[in-house]
Structure 1
Amino acid sequence: MAGTAEIDPQLVISYKFPESTYSYTERDAALYALGVGACSRDPVDDNELKYVYHQDGQQSIEVLPTFASLFSAGLQSQIIEMPGLVFDPRLLLHGQQYIEIYKPLPSNGCILNKATVSGLHDKGKSTVLEVEILSYEKESGVQLCMQRAAVYLRGAGGFSQSPQPYSYTKYPSGQISTYKIPKSQPFVVFEECTHPSQALLYRLSGDYNPLHSDPRVAEIAGYLLN
């Protein structure tokens, strides 16, 4: 794995992200739905067709709640430029995404995003950076959602200055509840298959991480192609 990592935790956790905006149309919402597999099994399934087509016009389509993950599409480039955070961007992984939706997402609009560093954790051989994003309709000021994104920086750990690994979170202990997986058998089992080229379609929604499209980058990151 290539690249030299260097992390200054105080610079990272004190960093103030600039506010950003994200504008989209009905076409973007429909393209995202197709990219995550809508109508891939049945192109006329009413339960999924509503995300890509509506008889009253595209402005009436419904928007998948997870479309909100695109609101902070420019976050990765901002993380790469953060002061106090030097790492090989080819080894960056999107580790986790938590979303709370407060209102149905409109089929088009301009979104104002306010992001803050909410966590930084030294995992030894890697680092986990957590960012909280609050998203609002720019025109009305109404909050639509809150997201917490965890970014996994491979090869960028080991920056702790004490025997105890460095770990920072902005949330008081117990504020974020941990979901416990029941020990009982699941009530429903659903299996879904992704298409071999689906990542190439999904990336058109703005996730241009070359890890999903460039075999050379995937190989550098340690992933073997079948």
Structure 2
Amino acid sequence: MAASSDFDPQLLIAHKFPEKIYSYTERDAAIYGLGVGACAKDALDDKELKYVYHPDGQQFIQVLPTFAALFSNDFASEIEHLPGLEYDPRLLLHGHQFIEIYKPLPSNASMVNRASISGLQDKGKAAILEIEILSYEKESGELICMNRMAVYLRGAGGFSKSSQPYSYSKHGTNTASNIGIPKGQPYAIFEECTQPSQALLYRLSGDYNPLHSDPKIAEVAG
């Protein structure tokens, strides 16, 4: 169950996260690129090589937009400190990640990250928690991107005080529901194969969830 019978969802929603600083270099950007499969099939593919190497120096490499997802990593550990929410960390699942990029990511920077609770749903035996993170470049103060991550917390549900399951969302309708799925055959098909050890390489970018590296914990999580 989520917590004791006096669990107050409003108290959780009002929770103030500490501000986090995420600093990275060109090396971190390159390791991330390799971790998501850049040049995995062809080390000379210039369309992907630019994310891990530049002939004029590493400071000129391009940073994949999805690198921004790493700015939210520091807040995953904060979930277990939220007031009144009880769950087994081994059963936490990453539900989805929504990213908006407002400016190209620099090849190296320090980001000031500010987070808030943007959603909470009681699913009975589980809860879905959504956290929104705004990332500002420390030097300029400019807003660079926004992350919205949802985590599925098995065993944390059942806290609704009425027959209607508790549901709160800062953004109303789920963003995904507004996306229309085209009818007919696809215009193109792209197939990709991940490397057997790719998860172990990717975790070097800061996602140290043992679910993806420890066979025993993965077995417990199912």
How far off is 1:5 after superposition? 3.9
How far off is 1:207 after superposition? 0.2
Identity fraction in percent: 69
What are structure 2's unaligned runs of at least 5 residues? none
Partner-residue secondary structure (3-state), 1:136? strand
Residue 86 of structure 1 corresponds to: 86
How far off is 1:76 after superposition? 0.9
**Separation (CA, whole Å) in 1 of partners of 2:121 and 2:159:** 10
Residue 109 of structure 2 corresponds to: 109
Q: Deviations over 1:195-222 (max 9, x none)?
A: 1111000001000000001111111111
Q: TM-score, normalised by structure 1?
A: 0.93
Question: Relative to 1, partners in 2 of residues 1:174 and 1:149: Cα closer, same or farther, differing over 3 Å?
Answer: closer
State whether structure 2 residue 43 is matched by structure 1 residue 49.
no
Question: Relative to 1, partners in 2 of residues 1:105 and 1:8: Cα closer, same or farther, differing over 3 Å?
Answer: same
Question: Relative to 1, partners in 2 of residues 1:176 and 1:25: Cα closer, same or farther, differing over 3 Å?
Answer: same
Q: Where does structure 1 differ by over 4 angstroms across 4 or more consecutive aligned residues?
A: 172-177
Paired letter, 2:39 = C
**Separation (CA, whole Å) in 2 of partners of 1:19 and 1:192:** 37
How far off is 1:19 after superposition? 1.0
How far off is 1:8 after superposition? 3.5
How far off is 1:172 after superposition? 4.6
Question: Relative to 1, partners in 2 of residues 1:176 and 1:94: Cα closer, same or farther, differing over 3 Å?
Answer: closer
Structure 2 matches for 1:122-161, cutoff 5 A? 122-161=122-161
How far off is 1:73 after superposition? 1.5
**Which structure shows the higher helix fraction?**
2
**Separation (CA, whole Å) in 2 of partners of 1:172 and 1:214:** 37
**Separation (CA, whole Å) in 2 of partners of 1:174 and 1:83:** 25
Confirm or deny: 8 A CA contact 1:103 1:144 kept in the other structure: yes
Partner-residue secondary structure (3-state), 2:182? coil
Supply the RMSD in Å over aligned alpha carbons: 1.5
Residue 184 of structure 2 corresponds to: 184
Confirm or deny: 8 A CA contact 2:2 2:158 kept in the other structure: no
What are structure 1's unaligned runs of at least 5 residues? none
Corresponding residue pairs, total:
219
Residue 212 of structure 1 corresponds to: 212
Residue 22 of structure 1 corresponds to: 22
Residue 58 of structure 1 corresponds to: 58
Paired letter, 2:88 = D
Paired letter, 1:38 = A
Q: TM-score, normalised by structure 2?
A: 0.94
